[in-house]
Structure 1
Amino acid sequence: MKYLIVLVVVCAAVSFSEQAMTKEQVMELYNKMVEECAKKESGSSTDIEEVFAKKLPSTKNGKCIHACVGETTGLIKDNKVNVEGAIAMAKMVYDNDAAKVQMANDLANDCIGVTDGERCEAAFKIIQCSEQAHKARGVSFLDLSSN
Protein backbone atom coordinates (compact mmCIF):
# COMPACT_ATOMS: atom_id res chain seq x y z
CA MET A 1 0.00 0.00 0.00
CA LYS A 2 2.62 2.52 1.03
CA TYR A 3 4.52 1.98 -2.18
CA LEU A 4 1.56 2.58 -4.44
CA ILE A 5 0.45 5.63 -2.53
CA VAL A 6 3.85 7.21 -2.37
CA LEU A 7 4.43 6.48 -6.04
CA VAL A 8 1.06 7.96 -6.82
CA VAL A 9 1.91 11.13 -4.98
CA VAL A 10 5.31 11.35 -6.53
CA CYS A 11 3.76 11.01 -9.92
CA ALA A 12 1.26 13.76 -9.30
CA ALA A 13 3.94 16.02 -7.96
CA VAL A 14 6.06 15.63 -11.00
CA SER A 15 3.42 17.12 -13.21
CA PHE A 16 4.39 20.44 -11.60
CA SER A 17 8.10 20.09 -12.21
CA GLU A 18 10.40 19.30 -15.10
CA GLN A 19 13.09 17.78 -12.88
CA ALA A 20 12.91 14.85 -10.50
CA MET A 21 11.53 15.93 -7.16
CA THR A 22 13.22 15.60 -3.80
CA LYS A 23 11.76 13.21 -1.24
CA GLU A 24 10.71 16.21 0.82
CA GLN A 25 8.79 17.74 -2.10
CA VAL A 26 7.14 14.42 -2.82
CA MET A 27 6.03 13.95 0.78
CA GLU A 28 4.71 17.50 1.01
CA LEU A 29 2.61 17.02 -2.10
CA TYR A 30 1.51 13.58 -0.94
CA ASN A 31 0.30 14.95 2.39
CA LYS A 32 -1.70 17.67 0.64
CA MET A 33 -3.22 15.20 -1.79
CA VAL A 34 -4.25 12.84 0.99
CA GLU A 35 -5.88 15.70 2.90
CA GLU A 36 -7.80 16.82 -0.20
CA CYS A 37 -8.91 13.30 -1.04
CA ALA A 38 -9.94 12.71 2.58
CA LYS A 39 -12.21 15.76 2.37
CA LYS A 40 -13.65 14.63 -0.96
CA GLU A 41 -14.23 11.07 0.29
CA SER A 42 -15.50 12.04 3.78
CA GLY A 43 -12.51 10.37 5.41
CA SER A 44 -12.14 10.47 9.17
CA SER A 45 -9.06 11.41 11.12
CA THR A 46 -8.51 7.68 11.68
CA ASP A 47 -8.59 7.09 7.92
CA ILE A 48 -5.99 9.82 7.42
CA GLU A 49 -3.84 8.45 10.24
CA GLU A 50 -3.88 5.01 8.62
CA VAL A 51 -2.73 6.48 5.33
CA PHE A 52 0.14 8.37 6.95
CA ALA A 53 1.06 5.31 9.07
CA LYS A 54 1.20 3.30 5.82
CA LYS A 55 -1.44 0.86 7.04
CA LEU A 56 -4.05 -0.80 4.89
CA PRO A 57 -7.33 1.10 5.13
CA SER A 58 -9.85 -0.35 7.59
CA THR A 59 -12.93 1.52 6.34
CA LYS A 60 -14.66 2.08 3.04
CA ASN A 61 -13.87 5.80 3.22
CA GLY A 62 -10.21 4.96 3.81
CA LYS A 63 -10.22 2.79 0.70
CA CYS A 64 -11.88 5.62 -1.20
CA ILE A 65 -9.11 8.01 -0.18
CA HIS A 66 -6.66 5.68 -1.90
CA ALA A 67 -8.93 5.46 -4.95
CA CYS A 68 -9.03 9.26 -5.13
CA VAL A 69 -5.25 9.57 -4.92
CA GLY A 70 -4.77 6.88 -7.58
CA GLU A 71 -7.32 8.43 -9.92
CA THR A 72 -6.04 11.95 -9.39
CA THR A 73 -2.53 10.94 -10.38
CA GLY A 74 -3.60 8.75 -13.28
CA LEU A 75 -2.23 5.55 -11.77
CA ILE A 76 -5.72 4.10 -11.50
CA LYS A 77 -8.15 4.33 -14.40
CA ASP A 78 -11.42 2.46 -14.83
CA ASN A 79 -10.84 0.64 -11.52
CA LYS A 80 -7.51 -0.89 -12.54
CA VAL A 81 -3.84 -0.03 -12.79
CA ASN A 82 -3.09 2.38 -15.61
CA VAL A 83 0.31 1.16 -16.81
CA GLU A 84 0.70 4.02 -19.27
CA GLY A 85 0.02 6.50 -16.48
CA ALA A 86 2.54 4.78 -14.23
CA ILE A 87 5.21 4.89 -16.94
CA ALA A 88 4.56 8.55 -17.74
CA MET A 89 4.72 9.51 -14.10
CA ALA A 90 7.83 7.43 -13.46
CA LYS A 91 9.60 9.15 -16.34
CA MET A 92 8.86 12.51 -14.79
CA VAL A 93 9.51 11.50 -11.19
CA TYR A 94 12.73 9.65 -11.87
CA ASP A 95 14.04 12.09 -14.46
CA ASN A 96 13.91 9.42 -17.19
CA ASP A 97 16.18 7.02 -15.24
CA ALA A 98 15.68 3.98 -17.49
CA ALA A 99 16.16 1.35 -14.76
CA LYS A 100 13.69 3.04 -12.40
CA VAL A 101 11.15 3.62 -15.16
CA GLN A 102 11.43 -0.05 -16.15
CA MET A 103 10.93 -1.14 -12.53
CA ALA A 104 7.83 1.08 -12.27
CA ASN A 105 6.57 -0.50 -15.51
CA ASP A 106 7.23 -4.00 -14.17
CA LEU A 107 5.51 -3.25 -10.86
CA ALA A 108 2.47 -1.79 -12.61
CA ASN A 109 2.26 -4.80 -14.92
CA ASP A 110 2.41 -7.12 -11.90
CA CYS A 111 -1.00 -5.77 -10.89
CA ILE A 112 -2.57 -5.18 -14.31
CA GLY A 113 -5.30 -7.79 -13.85
CA VAL A 114 -6.38 -6.58 -10.43
CA THR A 115 -9.77 -4.85 -10.46
CA ASP A 116 -13.18 -4.68 -8.86
CA GLY A 117 -16.50 -3.25 -10.00
CA GLU A 118 -16.44 -0.81 -7.09
CA ARG A 119 -13.69 1.87 -7.30
CA CYS A 120 -12.75 1.88 -3.62
CA GLU A 121 -12.47 -1.90 -3.46
CA ALA A 122 -10.47 -1.85 -6.68
CA ALA A 123 -8.01 0.61 -5.13
CA PHE A 124 -7.73 -1.56 -2.02
CA LYS A 125 -6.98 -4.66 -4.10
CA ILE A 126 -4.41 -2.72 -6.16
CA ILE A 127 -2.71 -1.56 -2.97
CA GLN A 128 -2.51 -5.13 -1.70
CA CYS A 129 -1.12 -6.31 -5.03
CA SER A 130 1.41 -3.49 -5.13
CA GLU A 131 2.69 -4.38 -1.68
CA GLN A 132 3.10 -8.00 -2.72
CA ALA A 133 4.82 -7.04 -5.98
CA HIS A 134 7.31 -4.81 -4.19
CA LYS A 135 8.10 -7.56 -1.69
CA ALA A 136 8.43 -10.20 -4.43
CA ARG A 137 10.87 -8.00 -6.32
CA GLY A 138 12.74 -7.04 -3.18
CA VAL A 139 12.34 -3.31 -3.71
CA SER A 140 10.79 -0.51 -1.78
CA PHE A 141 9.70 2.90 -2.94
CA LEU A 142 12.83 4.34 -1.36
CA ASP A 143 14.93 2.08 -3.60
CA LEU A 144 13.37 3.84 -6.57
CA SER A 145 13.67 7.37 -5.20
CA SER A 146 16.27 9.49 -6.85
CA ASN A 147 16.93 12.00 -4.09
Structure 2
Amino acid sequence: MKFIVVFALCLAVVTAELSKEFLEAIMKEEDEIGEECLKQENASQADMDELTEKKNPTRREGKCLIACYYEAYEMKEKDGKITEEGILKSLRGFKEQDEDIYKNLVKIMVEICLPEVKSTDRCEAAAEFEACYLSHTEKVNAIF
Protein backbone atom coordinates (compact mmCIF):
# COMPACT_ATOMS: atom_id res chain seq x y z
CA MET A 1 0.00 0.00 0.00
CA LYS A 2 1.43 3.34 -1.00
CA PHE A 3 1.11 6.15 1.53
CA ILE A 4 1.58 9.67 0.26
CA VAL A 5 1.12 12.54 2.65
CA VAL A 6 -0.38 15.64 1.15
CA PHE A 7 2.49 17.69 2.54
CA ALA A 8 4.98 15.86 0.35
CA LEU A 9 2.65 15.63 -2.61
CA CYS A 10 2.82 19.39 -2.80
CA LEU A 11 6.43 19.96 -1.94
CA ALA A 12 7.74 20.85 -5.37
CA VAL A 13 6.99 23.43 -7.98
CA VAL A 14 8.62 21.43 -10.76
CA THR A 15 9.57 17.84 -9.99
CA ALA A 16 11.98 17.69 -12.91
CA GLU A 17 14.22 19.96 -10.87
CA LEU A 18 14.43 17.42 -8.05
CA SER A 19 16.53 14.29 -8.35
CA LYS A 20 14.80 10.96 -8.81
CA GLU A 21 16.73 9.60 -5.82
CA PHE A 22 15.54 12.44 -3.61
CA LEU A 23 11.90 11.90 -4.56
CA GLU A 24 12.19 8.12 -4.07
CA ALA A 25 13.69 8.64 -0.62
CA ILE A 26 10.80 10.93 0.34
CA MET A 27 8.24 8.40 -0.86
CA LYS A 28 9.90 5.59 1.09
CA GLU A 29 9.99 7.70 4.23
CA GLU A 30 6.36 8.68 3.78
CA ASP A 31 5.31 5.06 3.39
CA GLU A 32 6.93 4.23 6.72
CA ILE A 33 5.50 7.28 8.47
CA GLY A 34 2.07 6.62 6.96
CA GLU A 35 1.90 3.10 8.30
CA GLU A 36 2.84 4.30 11.78
CA CYS A 37 0.47 7.26 11.72
CA LEU A 38 -2.49 5.19 10.56
CA LYS A 39 -2.01 2.95 13.60
CA GLN A 40 -1.19 5.73 16.04
CA GLU A 41 -4.20 7.84 15.09
CA ASN A 42 -6.65 4.96 14.59
CA ALA A 43 -7.22 6.33 11.11
CA SER A 44 -8.76 4.41 8.25
CA GLN A 45 -7.69 3.96 4.68
CA ALA A 46 -10.57 6.30 3.79
CA ASP A 47 -8.90 8.99 5.92
CA MET A 48 -5.63 8.45 4.06
CA ASP A 49 -7.44 8.46 0.72
CA GLU A 50 -8.88 11.91 1.46
CA LEU A 51 -5.39 13.22 2.03
CA THR A 52 -3.94 11.66 -1.09
CA GLU A 53 -6.84 13.16 -3.05
CA LYS A 54 -5.98 16.56 -1.55
CA LYS A 55 -9.29 16.84 0.25
CA ASN A 56 -9.87 18.36 3.66
CA PRO A 57 -10.36 15.55 6.18
CA THR A 58 -13.96 14.90 7.15
CA ARG A 59 -13.11 13.03 10.36
CA ARG A 60 -10.97 13.97 13.34
CA GLU A 61 -8.77 10.91 12.66
CA GLY A 62 -7.90 12.34 9.25
CA LYS A 63 -6.94 15.66 10.79
CA CYS A 64 -4.84 13.85 13.38
CA LEU A 65 -3.19 11.89 10.58
CA ILE A 66 -1.88 15.20 9.21
CA ALA A 67 -0.69 16.17 12.70
CA CYS A 68 1.14 12.87 13.00
CA TYR A 69 2.99 13.46 9.73
CA TYR A 70 3.91 16.98 10.80
CA GLU A 71 5.23 15.63 14.08
CA ALA A 72 7.26 12.97 12.27
CA TYR A 73 8.81 15.72 10.14
CA GLU A 74 9.41 17.77 13.31
CA MET A 75 7.33 20.69 12.09
CA LYS A 76 5.56 20.84 15.44
CA GLU A 77 6.69 21.39 18.99
CA LYS A 78 5.64 19.02 21.75
CA ASP A 79 2.70 21.28 22.57
CA GLY A 80 1.40 20.72 19.04
CA LYS A 81 2.23 24.17 17.69
CA ILE A 82 3.59 24.32 14.15
CA THR A 83 6.72 26.47 14.14
CA GLU A 84 8.83 28.32 11.60
CA GLU A 85 11.92 26.54 12.88
CA GLY A 86 10.22 23.18 12.43
CA ILE A 87 9.05 24.02 8.92
CA LEU A 88 12.53 25.13 7.88
CA LYS A 89 14.03 21.99 9.37
CA SER A 90 11.56 19.81 7.45
CA LEU A 91 12.48 21.56 4.19
CA ARG A 92 16.27 21.36 4.46
CA GLY A 93 16.48 18.55 1.89
CA PHE A 94 14.64 20.71 -0.63
CA LYS A 95 17.04 23.58 -0.01
CA GLU A 96 19.91 21.27 -0.92
CA GLN A 97 18.12 20.13 -4.07
CA ASP A 98 16.79 23.39 -5.47
CA GLU A 99 16.97 26.84 -3.90
CA ASP A 100 14.00 28.22 -5.89
CA ILE A 101 11.68 25.40 -4.83
CA TYR A 102 12.82 25.88 -1.25
CA LYS A 103 12.12 29.63 -1.37
CA ASN A 104 8.63 29.06 -2.81
CA LEU A 105 7.82 26.53 -0.12
CA VAL A 106 9.08 28.81 2.65
CA LYS A 107 6.98 31.68 1.31
CA ILE A 108 3.82 29.59 1.27
CA MET A 109 4.40 27.68 4.48
CA VAL A 110 6.01 30.30 6.72
CA GLU A 111 4.86 33.65 5.40
CA ILE A 112 1.32 32.76 4.31
CA CYS A 113 0.04 29.66 6.09
CA LEU A 114 1.72 29.68 9.48
CA PRO A 115 -0.01 32.94 10.51
CA GLU A 116 -3.36 31.48 9.35
CA VAL A 117 -3.33 28.72 11.99
CA LYS A 118 -5.63 29.80 14.80
CA SER A 119 -6.49 26.56 16.59
CA THR A 120 -4.46 25.34 19.53
CA ASP A 121 -5.78 21.81 19.08
CA ARG A 122 -3.09 19.49 17.67
CA CYS A 123 -5.28 18.01 14.94
CA GLU A 124 -7.31 21.08 14.06
CA ALA A 125 -4.17 23.22 13.75
CA ALA A 126 -2.61 20.69 11.38
CA ALA A 127 -5.76 20.60 9.27
CA GLU A 128 -5.92 24.42 9.13
CA PHE A 129 -2.31 24.61 8.00
CA GLU A 130 -2.78 21.88 5.40
CA ALA A 131 -5.93 23.52 3.98
CA CYS A 132 -4.07 26.82 3.60
CA TYR A 133 -1.08 25.09 2.05
CA LEU A 134 -3.19 23.22 -0.48
CA SER A 135 -5.09 26.36 -1.39
CA HIS A 136 -1.94 28.36 -2.05
CA THR A 137 0.00 25.66 -3.83
CA GLU A 138 -2.87 25.14 -6.24
CA LYS A 139 -2.93 28.87 -6.95
CA VAL A 140 0.70 28.79 -8.01
CA ASN A 141 0.45 25.38 -9.67
CA ALA A 142 2.91 23.91 -7.18
CA ILE A 143 1.41 20.45 -6.90
CA PHE A 144 3.09 17.46 -8.45
Is the TM value for this pair above 0.5? yes
Question: Shorter-normalised TM-score: what interval?
Answer: 0.7 to 0.9
Change (3 A) 1:7 1:87: farther
Q: What are the ranges of 5 or more consecutive residues in structure 2 without an aligned counterpart? A: 13-18
Q: Distance in 2 between matches of 1:102 and 1:3?
A: 21
TM-aligned CA deviation for residue 59 of structure 1: 0.6
Closer/same/farther in 2, CA of residues 103 and 39 from structure 1, 3 Å limit: same
**Cα RMSD between the aligned structures?**
2.9
Q: Distance in 1 between matches of 2:45 and 2:97?
A: 37
Contact 1:3 1:131 in 2 (8 A): no
- Decide whether aligned partners of structure 1 residues 104 and 90 sit closer, same or farther in structure 2, where only a CA change above 3 A counts: same
For residues 1-147 of structure 1, the aligned pairs below 5 Å read 5-6=7-8, 21-77=21-77, 78-95=79-96, 97-108=98-109, 109-113=111-115, 114-136=117-139, 138-142=140-144
Q: Which runs of 4+ in 1 moved over 4 A?
A: 7-10
Identity %: 25
TM-score under structure 1 normalisation? 0.73
Count of aligned pairs: 132
What is the alpha-carbon distance in structure 2 between the residues aligned to residue 81 and residue 56 of structure 1? 18
Unaligned 5+ runs, structure 1? 11-18, 143-147
